[in-house]
Amino acid sequence: MNSLHSSGQLWRGMTQRRLGRRDALRMGGLASFSAFLAACGVKGQGNPGASAPAPDAVAKFWEGKTATKHVDVASWPLYMDPKQPELKAFTSETGITVNYQEVIQEMGPWFAKVQPQLAAKQPIGFDIQIITNGVQFKQFKDSGFLAPLDLAKLPNYAKNAGPAYKNEAFDPGNVYSVPWTSGITGIAYDPAKTGREITKLADLWDPKFKGKVGMFSDTQELANFGLLVLGIDPGKSTPDDWKKAADKLKEQKSQGILRNYYDQSYIDALGKGEVWITQAWSGDVFQKNVSEGKNFKFIIPEEGGTIWTDNFSIPITAPNAVSALTLIDYFYRPEVATDVAAYINYVTPVPATQELMKQKAAAATGDDKKTLTAVAESPLVFPTEADYAKLHYYRNFATPAEYQDFQRVFEPVVLG
């Protein structure tokens, strides 16, 4: 006890002398503390030149990279037959094993999740990620997180991809991405519950469906519908339009019409009867109906819907980049693309599939025949010119600041 006591005195003795210069020390301490605070900055990967990469970027990235026997794929739910027949065929043909994970539910969280690893030049555990052409695509691109693709190693893509998919506005020349599939954002509903046909966006604001309406929590998806219902083209919208749209969306919430904002989980909410009518992605409803024997419907609203593209991209730190390219190219074989489209019911980037699907339908019997014929004629898988006319593209934000302004308008709506 005594020794403890004296040790306290010893320490006080050791520190007392410095107390004389307390002020100087405090100032110094403060200065070094704020220097420390400043040192905690988060490094960005800002690289404005990334959109127009150096001519030798492709050669430089792929130099010395060799084929491996495994590929990890990060994808979304409802994007492949759970039995993965295409991947099994791929493995038995090439000997490359594929670990296919449905880890992406929404783009914002996905970017936020992998950003720290990519910024630290660490692998993210995936060699392919399927990302949407929205805001986060630009963030991935501008941060220099995407490997420049060696298009020479994608012969099937070159041969079979539709012309519209070879030069999309968000990635001209397919420098960083090639499309996996496109889809339409529209309205899904349960006719048994709504008791009538749904045709327009305004139905999402109908007080009759109080507490039974779902919307997306992705700010861009949500904002698009808020704008379209007011007759504003999202691509040409101004910050004033955003505020009007946000007010319209808040109205939906404050009147208790809205049940909740959803990510990919909206489809479960629809399946459980939690919502009767909801913002939805085109292929999901078809798969839900097939797998659970439901009778939900999907429509492109009169006021318009949006079309987006989900893209294969290779993270810059991917350890199996070469095999990843092999797998990507495999999905551009018309027969593989046909099988995928027939199951997931999204717009395929390989136009030859429609003919193939019709042939398959002709050869099939029973339920298979019915399903295949329906898919081959479905405007949701093979949209016509008239359908495209009703569809809008995502807004491309010129600068991060513009996107931040947009977020500040719509984020408080989602997090209200």
Partner 1 sequence: MSRLRRNLAPYLLVLPGGLWLLLFFAVPMITMLSLSLQQGDIVNGYAFTGHWQTYVDAIGNYRTQLFRSLLYGAIATIALIVLAFPVAYWIAFYGGRRKATYLFLLLLPFFVSFVLRTISWRQILTDEGPVLGPLKDIGLLGDSFHVLGTPFAVIAGLVYNFLPFMVLPVYVALERIDPRVIEAARDLYADPATAFRKVILPLALPGVFAGVLMTFVPASSDYVNSAVLGSSSTTMIGQVIQAQYLATADYPTASALSFVLMAVLLIGVFTYARALGTEDVMKVAAR
- Relative to beta strand 128-132, strand 70-74 is parallel
User: Does residue 400 belong to the site contacting partner 1 (CB under 8 A)?
Assistant: yes
Give the binding-site size for partner 1 (rule: CB under 8 A).
52
Judged on CB neighbours under 10 Å (0-12, 13-18, 19+), 16 is: exposed
Sole window of 63-71, 167-175, 318-326, 398-406 interacting with partner 1 (rule: CB under 8 A): 398-406
User: Does residue 38 belong to the site contacting partner 1 (CB under 8 A)?
Assistant: yes
Q: Pinpoint the alpha helices (H) of 120-218.
A: 135-142, 155-160, 191-194
Judged on CB neighbours under 10 Å (0-12, 13-18, 19+), 37 is: exposed
User: Does residue 134 belong to the site contacting partner 1 (CB under 8 A)?
Assistant: no
User: Does residue 59 belong to the site contacting partner 1 (CB under 8 A)?
Assistant: no
User: Does residue 191 belong to the site contacting partner 1 (CB under 8 A)?
Assistant: no
Q: Would you say 211 and 259 are in contact if contact means Cβ atoms under 8 Å apart?
A: yes
350 DSSP assignment: -
AA identity, residue 3: S
Nearest approach in angstroms of CB 225 to partner 1 is 15
User: Does residue 14 belong to the site contacting partner 1 (CB under 8 A)?
Assistant: no
Nearest approach in angstroms of CB 267 to partner 1 is 14
Q: Which is nearer to partner 1, 82 or 256 (CB)?
A: 256
What whole-number distance in Å separates Cα of residue 350 and Cα of residue 126?
A: 25
User: Does residue 19 belong to the site contacting partner 1 (CB under 8 A)?
Assistant: no
- The correct pick among 17, 20, 23, 41 for binding partner 1 (CB under 8 A) is 41
Hey, which bits of 158-233 come out as E strands?
A: 178-189, 213-216
What whole-number distance in Å separates Cα of residue 131 and Cα of residue 310?
A: 5
**Which of positions 262-291 make contact with partner 1 (CB under 8 A)?**
272-274
User: Does residue 17 belong to the site contacting partner 1 (CB under 8 A)?
Assistant: no
Which residues of this chain interact with partner 1, rule CB under 8 A? 3-4, 6-7, 10-11, 34, 36-46, 106, 108-109, 111-113, 115, 139, 142-143, 193, 209-212, 253, 256, 258-261, 272-274, 400-401, 403-404, 407, 411-412, 414-416
